[in-house]
Amino acid sequence: MPAVLLVLPSASYRAPDFVAAARALGVSLMVASEGNQTFPDPARFVKIDLRRPDWSIDEITTSTGSVDAVMAVDDAGVVIAAGAAARLGLNHNSPEAVAATRDKAELRRLLLGAGVSQPEFRVTDVTSAADLADEIGYPVVVKPVSLSASRGVIRADDRDAAGAAALRCRAILDDAGKPESEPMLVERYIPGDEVAVEGMLKDGAVEILAILDKPDPLVGPFFEETIFVTPSRHSRPAQAAIGDAVAAATEAVGLVEGPFHAELRLDGDRAYMLEIAARPIGGLCSRALSFGVFGASLETVLLRNALRLPQGGLDPLAPAAGVMMLPIPRRGRRGSVTGREDALRVPGITGLEITVAEGAVVVPLPEGERYLGFLFSRGATPADAEASLRQAYSLLDIAVEEG
């Protein structure tokens, strides 16, 4: 029986879906995490410390026995997974390549050196942010180099706003426990639509699994993602430009194996690379994707890729699919949820998951880093899938109470 080791944080949503995919494939699954996961076989668990990559790699390589692949499913584990796979002699990305995807400044430098289209940028600290924003020209985007999920990403339209955004970004970094020496980025704001790309690599070859449109305009001042819909409604030239940019970015960074998730902006048919990560799409968004005549999950496809198992066709199962990440409207405590049954009765809606427990403190962007839950749809067209999500969301009432 083939065996896969997953590296994932204890707070990850991803374990149950990978467990289900592994069971369906007859794959033996082991988890390396800093906390105990809900997992069918506790003996197949390796305790690591995500803050100590070298120590964690040692723990994995001395505790796992024989495995055929190592995969990270969240940003926090990508360096450890790459290092462990390298140590075990398995297919892997270099630790340096995946580390670059975790450092937006280093990623920008690599893309610049390879001539990949991306926003003009400067690496800065709080004191220089406004001056460097003046150099680039407004509007700009100020962002941390190490955080994800749009946390700390702020648009500024003038010098005063750039200075204020840098101060707020620095406070968010402090709250996340990042060192005072950690820089931030100031980038030119690229107008146009934003898209996400889900794909995988095998021996350096890129396979795009889905281009997901983001139909809600992401113009700032914060960049809270809500709806993803696939297949893309953008023109063939735009989609070709997206594919070319993704391939150029993976080569520039040095990614050659496993899943990747990319974010791009389209200005007309020109694609600008924003970010690329050496892991699959976050949260529960992968549940919107299914492939082949039997509707294989994204987790199944990624496990097959890691183990070099035959895939069959990878065309999307449904004509169109969507997911909505339920936004946090204000700071407070999550209260009651009403309207679930009505939302689930909307034609095209296939699921609803509220992932924040009642009573938990919730914080909106740019300080926050999670969503209230996920709503899923399918439809005959992308417009149908999107309309179902909007109608169902209008029927939900998720209370956020003071406290």
Digit-coded pLDDT (tens) for 236-272: 999 999 999 999 999 999 999 999 999 999 998 899 9
- Asked if omega into 231 is within 30° of 0 (cis), the reply is yes
Which pLDDT value is given to residue 316? 76
Tell how strand 28-33 and strand 3-7 pair up. Answer: parallel
pLDDT at 86 over 80: yes
CB atoms within 10 A of CB 62: 10
- Residue 316 DSSP SS3: strand
Which pLDDT value is given to residue 251? 98
pLDDT at 56 over 90: yes
Mean pLDDT comparison of 6-20, 38-52, 105-119, highest-scoring range: 105-119
Digit-coded pLDDT (tens) for 347-367: 999 999 999 999 999 999 999
Digit-coded pLDDT (tens) for 134-175: 999 999 999 999 998 899 999 999 999 999 999 999 999 999
pLDDT at 381 over 60: yes
Mind giving me the DSSP string for 199-221?
A: EEEETTEEEEEEEEE--S---SS
Angle at 156 between CA 154 and CA 159, to 5 degrees: 140
Q: Which tokens in the block code for residue 154?
A: 């702020």
CA 307 to chain centre: 22
Please identify which residue in the block is written with the tokens 């794909």: 199
Which pLDDT value is given to residue 43? 56
Which residues make Cβ contacts (< 8 Å) with residue 22, sequence separation at least 6? Answer: 4, 28, 29, 303
CA atoms of 345 and 353, how far apart (whole Å): 15
Query: Among residues 21, 148, 19, which one has the least CA distance to residue 33?
Result: 19
Query: Among residues 22, 111, 105, which one has the least CA distance to residue 69?
Result: 22
CB atoms within 10 A of CB 180: 9
Q: Where in the chain do CATH 3.90.1170.50 domains reside?
A: 319-403
Digit-coded pLDDT (tens) for 169-194: 999 999 999 999 999 999 999 999 99
Query: Among residues 79, 13, 85, which one has the least CA distance to residue 49?
Result: 79
Confidence of residue 41 (pLDDT cuts 50, 70, 90): low
Domain 3-100 has what CATH class? alpha beta
HSE-up of residue 285 (Cα within 13 Å, Cβ side): 26
Mean pLDDT (the chain) is 94
Q: Where in the chain do CATH 3.30.1490.20 domains reside?
A: 120-188
Contact 334, 288 (CB under 8 A): no
Q: Would you say domain 120-188 falls under CATH 3.30.1490.20? A: yes
Main-chain dihedrals φ then ψ at residue 17, nearest 5 degrees: -70, -35
137 compared with 315, residue with greater pLDDT: 137
pLDDT at 131 over 90: yes
Mind giving me the DSSP string for 145-162?
A: SS--TTTT-EEESSHHHH
Contact 369, 343 (CB under 8 A): no
Which pLDDT value is given to residue 391? 98
- Residue 28 DSSP SS3: strand
Q: Where in the chain do CATH 3.40.50.20 domains reside?
A: 3-100
Confidence of residue 39 (pLDDT cuts 50, 70, 90): low
Q: Which tokens in the block code for residue 340?
A: 């679930």
Pick the CATH number of 319-403 from 3.90.1170.50, 3.30.70.20, 3.30.2320.20, 1.10.10.10: 3.90.1170.50
Which pLDDT value is given to residue 40? 56
pLDDT at 37 over 60: no
CA atoms of 361 and 356, how far apart (whole Å): 9
Which pLDDT value is given to residue 315? 80
Q: Which tokens in the block code for residue 229?
A: 């819909």
pLDDT at 317 over 80: no
pLDDT at 38 over 60: no
